[in-house]
């Protein structure tokens, strides 16, 4: 039976730490370089790239809506 796991991506770094998984191990399993995992975790930090992109997208959408 397949299991489905829903996860808040911003909680991913804490989940990985609690599970004792290293970034190197995670990168190897995912087939990416360890630097990619580090960049992902940095993007997920409060105030990181993910938050900035979501905020900017919301602002742009609101501006476009106001123009129409």
Q: List average pLDDT for each run of 10 residues in the chain, which is 68 residues long.
A: 64 90 95 95 88 91 93
Say what the pLDDT of residue 1 is. Answer: 43
User: How many residues comprise the chain?
Assistant: 68
Contact call for residues 23 and 37 (beta carbons, < 8 A): yes
Say what the pLDDT of residue 68 is. Answer: 87
Say what the pLDDT of residue 13 is. Answer: 86
All structural domains of the chain with their residue ranges: 9-67
What's the CA angle centered on 44, arms 9 and 62, to 5 degrees? 90
Say what the pLDDT of residue 47 is. Answer: 86
Contact call for residues 13 and 44 (beta carbons, < 8 A): yes
């Amino acid at each position: 039976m397949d299991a489905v796991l829903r996860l808040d991506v911003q909680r991913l770094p804490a989940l990985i730490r609690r599970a004792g998984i290293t970034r190197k191990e995670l990168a190897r399993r995912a087939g990416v370089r360890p630097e990619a995992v580090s960049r992902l975790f940095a993007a997920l930090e409060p105030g990181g790239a993910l938050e900035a992109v979501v905020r900017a997208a919301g602002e742009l959408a609101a501006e476009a809506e106001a123009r129409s």
